[in-house]
Structures are given as structure tokens and as C-alpha cells.
Chains A and B, each alone.
Chain A
Amino acid sequence: MNQPTLDHAHAAIEFNKNEPRVNWHDETLWFVRTKRDRAVAQIPEWEQLREAASQIKNHVLSNMHDLLVQFEENAKRNGITVHWAADGAEHNAIIHGLIQKAGATRMVKSKSMLTEECHLNDYLTKHGIEVIDSDLGERIVQMRKEPPSHIVMPAIHLTKADVGDTFHEHLGTEKGATDPQYLTEAARQHLRDTFLTRKVALTGVNFAIAETGGFVVCTNEGNADMGAHLADVHIAAMGFEKIIPRAEHLGVFLRLLARSATGQPITTFSSHFHKPRPGQEMHIVIVDNGRSRQLGRPDFRNSLKCIRCAACMNTCPVYRRSGGHSYHSAVAGPIGSILAPNLDMKQNADLPFASTLCGSCSNVCPVKIDIHDQLYKWRQVLMQEGYGPAAKTVSMKAMATVLESPRLYRMAGKVGRGVLRFAPVTVENRFNPWYNQREMPEPPAESFRDWYINNKKA
């Protein structure tokens, strides 16, 4: 995978080079956000639903141990084999082992951000296992050897012309074809053949029910069902925070999830798996990979309430204008920027700074995560731990010196106003990240202090 190695600000500069495309990306996501708003307006009790979801999840966080034990016991009783994985490597090894045991060399997979987080595809490919992603958007980016740029709409950064080119190369569709109907049909034929020939299928888990030992997978395309119901072995990969206490709580979450994600009243298929079908094996891999550590951080544990609807990304002014890939993490956008530093603080120290802290993310979040507050708190932790972005560390030190001395402060203001007026090039250059994509303001003729002194006199 071509995971970008640039930090967010620099990767965003790359993305911003093509201005019409940035505008298009921004508008496309805003369109999804407005669909969400329309869907939400249909539900008078929306705020109470969010509150209920948030409280159910608060209970889940506080009772995680017992709920997982209860889930395991019931899942086993249902005939599901339960595995536990401490990290990505263990998760990958367990899945590889199950594929080998089935005597297979190929697997079909439906969307799972957890497997992205664990880099499962890379791992299996290196071990000679062919993996085909069956969600259309994921299949598109997989052909292009790119990671998904969005957790619900993995190919949202691509135009239909890009998809047309990709399918022409990989599926032999007509050169220059851009009709989404035609392109989708080509993918349908190609993937149908895959579904019909794979012995092992992997799905993610949207919700796991402690009370009944089953799990729910939501898709619009029906790809999770096609894969799982036709395979001899169904593997479901789940982060442990996906647990909910009772089936009736699904009433709350299913009402919130699709509306927040795409503005639909519910996904086309909300499939509840409880037992393997006769002759089938069903496995569930419960993954920690840093989640228990996050659970122990009071400031950040609420991020584990996330149901992965992506509303926070669609509304984020930074995400919309910098693209999912600039976050160099499986989960992009505001919530990804909270989860990623937990996985690797050094590698992802830039991400909590990729926010205006405008709070729009927290306002749309269906489980009421205090997203922008957590981003703000991460900044402080990262600066304290010495992981702050280098440019910020230097300029913050300079700023602290200036702010500590009234005389220096006044002088800096004078110099600043002069510079802006007579030598704007010193500010408007590529070394000043604030100037990128922005017009610098007209400098005021006098400082507030001078104005105040003059006016008081008068």
C-alpha cells in the first residue's frame, strides 16, 4: 500500500495543488452532510436517541469485561469459535491460520476498518493468500493499490473518470467509459464470480450482542451476505468495543447509524449472524490492539464509543479540504485523529493538530463523543511528551518569549504591521504554512494599544 509518509500538513499541501479537485471533494462531502441533516430532521427525538446511544455506550465502557465474557459464552453456545488477538500481528496470524486450515489460498472480504488498521491484506498477500475486497469502493482502491480515504465511502476521493480508467485497466471495460451504472455492472459480474468461488469469507462487525452471542453486519450492497453465506468458513473480525448489551439496543443504533453516515433511514441489509449454517464454520476474532490502553485514559476513552458512521469526517472543514489520505491512518478525519495517537504517538503526533476545533464533529456525532475536546487534549499531551510538530515547538517557544515581555510584544506588533504592509513577500511565502491557501489580512494602520492611548487622550 502506498501509505503516505508525509505529515498531515504537508500531505494536505500536495492534495491542495489541484484546486478544482479540492473544491469538488469538499462539495461532495458537504452534499453527504446535508443528506444527513435532512434525514435527522425527520426524527423528532433525534437528540434523545443520541443521548440514549451515548449512555448505552457509557455503560458498555464501564462494564466491558463482563459483557465480553458474556458474549463469548453465548457465541460459543451458538457454535461460533471465539479467538482473541492482542494486536494486529496476532489478528493477522489467527486469520492466516484459519485460511490454511480450510485449505484455501484465496479469500473474499467485506468492509472492515479493523483489518485495515491491522494491515491484513498486506500480510496475507505476502504469505501467498489472494484477498479480494468486495465492497465496490474498497475494490476500486484495492485495484489502484491505495488505502481507503474514507471509512464509509472508501473511494470518495476519486472521480468517475478515475474509476473508468481503473476498470479499463483491471476489468477490461471500454476505454473512457464513465457511466456509474455501466461501471458498477462490470464490478458486479467480476465480484459475483469471486463470491461463487471462495471457500473463506471475512466480514467486519458493526455490533456484537452480549445477551445473545451474535453479531450484526450492515451493508448497502449485500456483499457481506454474499461472501459469508456462500463460503465454508466465515471469519468476523471485531474490535472489542463493538459490544452492546442487548439486541433491543440495536433499535437505537440502527436508527442512528445510516442516517448519520449517508442520510439513509437504514442500510439496505442489517444482517444478524448467530449460528453458522449447517456444514459451515463461523469464527470471531476479538481484537484489542491498543483499545484497552485507550480505555484506561479517562480523557480519551470516549473515543471507543464510536460506531464508525463517518459523520464527523463529512462535516469536518479540514478533512473535506485535505482528503482522507493526508491522515496516513486507517481511520481518517476527526475520530481517526484521536484513535491514531493511541496506536503510535510519535508517528501520529501531527493528526490532533489537523483540526480547527470548530466543534462541528462533536455536534453531529450520534454517540455524543466530545471529539473536538479530545483533539485539544491530545495536543497538550503530545506537546508535554515532546511529540509536538517541530515547527510548532519552535514558534511556540518564540511566542512564549514575546508574550512574556510587554516591550517585545509591542515591538513585534510594530514590526509585523510594517512587514505586512511594505514587504508582504516575507509572510506570503511557502515557509509560512498559514499563508498556504489563504489571503493574508490587510494590516491595521495602528495597534490597538496606540489607538486606545490616542482615543483616551481625545
Chain B
Amino acid sequence: MTTREKILASIQANQPSILPLPEQFTFTTTYPDLTKQFSDSLTFVGGMPVVVPDYKAIETHLKEYYPNFTNIATTCPELAHMADVSLDITDPHDLAGVNLAIIEGPIAVAENAAIWVDEKQLPHRVLPMITQYLAIIIRQSTIVANMHDAYKKIKVDTTGFGTFISGPSKTADIEQSLVIGAHGARSLIVYMLP
């Protein structure tokens, strides 16, 4: 008997008789204003929400907020002219010098400010973590109320990797003091287009 067979046999012998899956496991949340709720949640988790009319406004805001920044990478065609780092590489280690990454998020959750991104948005999985600063662009029309709604809209295995990002990387491991910027991005700005 292999270890696999032994473990599975022992599980089969020891598991109780079958209990059904619950029918009621999704819940409806209603917020009067999804954009406002998303913004409030994002602020709470240390991110910065910015409502913008168009890509031009994103560019203006970024240039004001991060003046003189170089080593910018983006997957967003409308902002491609801002980038001076190419994502057309094969080794993710080459991204170690990226200062600012600007990516797009297809779905955002109002309840907890989580934004789903998968390999359709990420030519390199490590990009949103290895960059020093991160900006994500979402559309207000794609904000859903809660996680149940989000999972109804995404298929987690469409690509090989996907993640919900909620705010900048952070830690409270030193005496429970919140420090923004642990190993991942030191800040997160979320631009909300109409």
C-alpha cells in the first residue's frame, strides 16, 4: 500500500456518514452607493481612492503624486507612453527595479476593497508585489457588493493564478503597530473610472 492509499483508506474508514452541503451559503448585501462604500473600505485598509473622469486625469494625478518618478511599468495601453520599463521580459527577477506599476482590475468588491486580478491583467504574477508602488484602475460599473457576488463573476481557474488585492502590503508584527509596506507595494492608489 502506498502512503496515498493508506491515508485515503484511513480517511474513508474514519469519516462520518455523509452530510449535505448547505443550500444557503451566499448572502445579499446592499449598499446605497457602491463607489462610496468601496472608497471607504479602501481608505480603511490603507489605500487611496481617487475618482477620475478619464485616463488623462489618471496621468495628471500620478505625475503630481509621484513627481520625477522613473522605472514605471504599465499594462494599460492608454498610459503606455508613461512607461519606461518593458514588461516584455521572461525572467520575473528583471522586475526588481520597478518603482511604479499601473495595472487594471476587472472586478472590485465594495465590502472589503478587494480587487481581483489574474494573468489576463498580469503578464507577470509578481508585478503587483515586487513593485515599490502600485496603482490599479477599475471601472465603477464593475464594483460588486460582497465576496459572494465576486465569486459568481470570476472563474478562479481561467488562468493559472489570480489574487484579490485589498490595500497596500502591510504588517503589524512589531507590537501590533501598523506599518504600511512590508514586502509588497508601499502604497496603493485605486483610480475609479466611470
Contacts and interface: CB of A to CB of B under 8 A. Distances in A.
Interface of A: 28, 31-32, 45, 48-49, 51-52, 55-56, 58-59, 61-65, 68-69, 78, 84-86, 90, 134-137, 140, 153-156, 158-160, 163, 180-181, 183-185, 188, 191-192, 195-196, 209, 212-214, 220-223, 225-226, 229-230, 240, 245, 247-252, 254-255, 262, 264-277, 286, 288, 292-293, 295-296, 298, 301
Given A153-B172, A223-B183, A56 B21 contact: yes
B111 A265 contact: yes
| Pairs of residues from A and B, 10 with the lowest C-beta to C-beta distance, nearest first | A222-B184, A275-B160, A296-B14, A265-B112, A137-B173, A221-B182, A229-B126, A55-B22, A292-B10, A180-B177
Interface of B: 2-4, 6-8, 10-22, 24-27, 41, 44-45, 92-93, 96, 111-114, 118, 124-126, 129-130, 146-148, 150-152, 155-157, 159-177, 179, 181-185
Given A274-B157, A292-B7, A62 B18 contact: yes
A155 B150 contact: no
B126 A63 contact: no
B104 to A, nearest CB: 18
B15 A295 contact: yes
Given A230-B92, A254-B147, A270-B114, 20 more contacts: A52-B22, A55-B19, A61-B19, A64-B11, A69-B8, A137-B173, A184-B171, A184-B179, A221-B182, A225-B184, A226-B184, A229-B92, A229-B129, A230-B130, A250-B147, A250-B151, A250-B156, A265-B45, A270-B164, A273-B161
B10 A221 contact: no
Contact of A255 (B129, B146, B175): B146
Contacts of B151: 247-248, 250-251
Contacts of B93: 196, 230
B122 to A, nearest CB: 10
B25 A56 contact: yes
Contacts of B21: 55-56, 59, 245
Contacts of B13: 296
B174 A229 contact: no
Contact of B3 (A61, A90, A153, A188): A90
A268 B168 contact: yes
Given A32-B176, A221-B184, A252-B25, A86 B7 contact: yes
29 contacts: A61-B15, A62-B17, A62-B19, A63-B19, A84-B2, A85-B3, A137-B173, A140-B174, A153-B172, A159-B175, A180-B179, A188-B181, A212-B156, A220-B170, A221-B169, A221-B183, A222-B184, A247-B155, A249-B25, A251-B146, A251-B148, A266-B166, A267-B166, A268-B169, A268-B170, A272-B118, A275-B160, A277-B125, A301-B16
B129 to A, nearest CB: 4
A180 B181 CA distance: 12
A248 B11 contact: no
A160 B175 contact: yes
Given A220-B169, A270-B114, A58 B161 contact: no
A274 B148 contact: no
Given A61-B15, A223-B182, A271 B175 contact: no
B124 A229 contact: yes
A288 B7 contact: yes
Contact of B129 (A191, A212, A226, A247): A226
A58 B179 contact: no
Most chain-B Cβ atoms within 10 A of its Cβ — which of A184, A255, A301? Answer: A184
B63 to A, nearest CB: 26
B175 A45 contact: no
A78 B160 contact: yes
A238 to B, nearest CB: 12
Contacts of A183: 174
A230 B150 CA distance: 28
Contacts of B44: 265
Contacts of B179: 180-181, 184
Nearest to B44: A265
B25 A59 contact: no
A248 B112 contact: no
B157 A212 contact: yes
Contacts of B170: 220-221, 268
A247 B112 CA distance: 18
A209 B154 CA distance: 15
A272 B183 contact: no
